[in-house]
């Protein structure tokens, strides 16, 4: 009788877990095509689109984030400089989140490329914003002098 109850409870538990499986997983499909348009937007002066996407990725797990970044990266060759700069900032912030502190060299490389692309646009708002993000991330790595330098550069661009 005890063996039957144990088996019954295990089968019941298994069935309940299977029916509630969606409650334990995250949504894996993100609106990447929409994000491409948002990151391309030249008129997004305050970079609200970036903030929205960054927040969505911040609350996603590493696999979902990695897949989304891979899909976005496929669009780099034909993308505008605005997209490229914002994408590299997005990738750098996610690298900081998921690979701290070992990811510092890659984060610096991504921000250097983003800053170069921001300068190529000639848009002082984008240059200032990328510089500020770079400074904040460097402060997170305890690179105080570098962080202060980029944050000051951001303020002088405006």
Render pLDDT for 131-153 as a digit per residue (tens, 0 to 9): 999 999 999 999 999 999 999 99
pLDDT at 131: 97
How many Cα neighbours within 13 Å face the side chain of 40? 13
For helices 62-73 and 48-58, give the axis angle rounded to 10 degrees: 140
- Kindly state the tokens that stand for 132: 């500020």
pLDDT at 143: 95
Return all residues near 40 (Cβ < 8 A) that are at least 6 apart.
79, 80, 82, 83
pTM, two decimal places: 0.80
Render pLDDT for 84-131 as a digit per residue (tens, 0 to 9): 999 999 999 999 998 888 999 999 999 999 999 999 999 999 999 999
Peptide bond into 101 cis (omega under 30): yes
Render pLDDT for 5-51 as a digit per residue (tens, 0 to 9): 676 666 656 666 665 555 455 555 789 899 999 999 998 888 999 99
End-to-end CA distance of the chain: 78
pLDDT at 158: 75
Q: How many CB atoms lie within 10 A of CB 39?
A: 24
Return all residues near 125 (Cβ < 8 A) that are at least 6 apart.
45, 158
CA dihedral of 66, 107, 90, 30, whole degrees rounded to 10 = 0
pLDDT classification of 154: cutoffs 50, 70, 90: very high
Q: Span 63-67, mean pLDDT?
A: 92
């Amino acid at each position: 009788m005890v063996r039957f109850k144990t088996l019954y409870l295990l089968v019941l538990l298994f069935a309940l877990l299977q029916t509630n499986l969606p409650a334990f997983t995250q949504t894996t499909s993100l609106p990447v095509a929409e994000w491409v348009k948002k990151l391309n937007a030249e008129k997004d002066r305050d970079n609200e689109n970036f903030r929205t996407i960054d927040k969505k990725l911040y609350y996603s797990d590493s696999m979902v984030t990695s897949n989304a970044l891979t899909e976005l990266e496929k669009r780099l060759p034909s993308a505008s400089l605005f997209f490229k700069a914002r994408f590299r900032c997005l990738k750098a912030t996610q690298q900081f989140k998921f690979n701290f502190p070992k990811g510092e060299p890659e984060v610096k490389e991504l921000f250097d490329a983003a800053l170069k692309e921001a300068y190529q646009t000639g848009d002082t708002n984008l240059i200032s914003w990328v510089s500020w993000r770079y400074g904040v991330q460097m402060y997170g790595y305890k690179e105080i002098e570098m962080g202060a330098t980029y944050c000051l550069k951001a303020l002088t661009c405006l």
